[in-house]
Amino acid sequence: MTDRDPHDHPDRPIRIVLDASAIVAFSRGSIHAGEVIAEVDDEHAAVGLPVLCLVEATRGTADPTRLDLLVNHRAGVVLGDEPGDWRALAATYDIVGRLDAAAAALAAIDLGCAVLTAQPGLYGGLAGGGPIIAI
Amino acid sequence: MLAEAGITVTDEGKARARAALADADARWTPERRAALRRQIGLPPAAA
């Protein structure tokens, strides 16, 4: 995963990863999520959107078209899981208890950034409480 | 895009976000990040 290629935004480093709760918050008009996305965009960086978090978020959003806005935004990068990282994903899943949250945490840890989340408690089992920014 | 989502962001809001990002950067030293990688079995990050 260290060679993760932010596919269609190679010129924008991923500054933060949104988990499902942050994606749902955005879809519900959260000013806190919006501020972070706007700031990251101003820095010409990107927000990582793990596939599993997007999938989970579809269950919690009232307006799926807002997920499309996020995915298609110039600062949005959809992140897949690397097949070779399955053991690390399993270990993270064991700690956080949800596969989508594990994908977000693994991506953030590997990319050296933080997870934006409305559910910080999910990550409490990670060393140091995990690299999170709570909204 | 944010306006389409019904979100109006101010300069003050972006400053708050910038501070939160900077705080996370400061708290997560290379040593703490290395401990996280070890915890989940990722190899050390490339220098």
Q: What is the pTM of this model?
A: 0.92
Across chain A, mean pLDDT equals 92
Contact B14 A38 (CB under 8 A): yes
* Cβ neighbours for A28, distance < 8 A, ≥ 6 positions apart: A61, A62
Take residue A75 and report the two structure tokens written for it: 């600062």
Cα B6 to Cα B29: distance, rounded to the nearest angstrom: 36
Nearest to B4 among A69, A91, A95 (CB): A69
What is the percent of chain A where pLDDT is above 70? 93
What are the structural domain ranges in chain B? Answer: 11-40
pLDDT tops 50 at residue A1: no
Binary contact (A35, B28; C-beta < 8 A): no
Give A28-61 pLDDT, tens digit per residue. Answer: 999 999 999 999 999 999 999 999 999 999 999 8
CA distance linking residue A116 with residue A123, whole number of Å = 11
CA distance B16 to A12: 21
Flag residues of chain B having pLDDT under 50. Answer: none
Contact A91 B45 (CB under 8 A): no
2-21 in chain B: CB under 8 A from chain A: 2, 4-9, 13-14, 16-18, 20-21
- Quote the pLDDT of residue A2: 42
Alpha-carbon gap, residue A1 to A87, rounded angstroms: 11
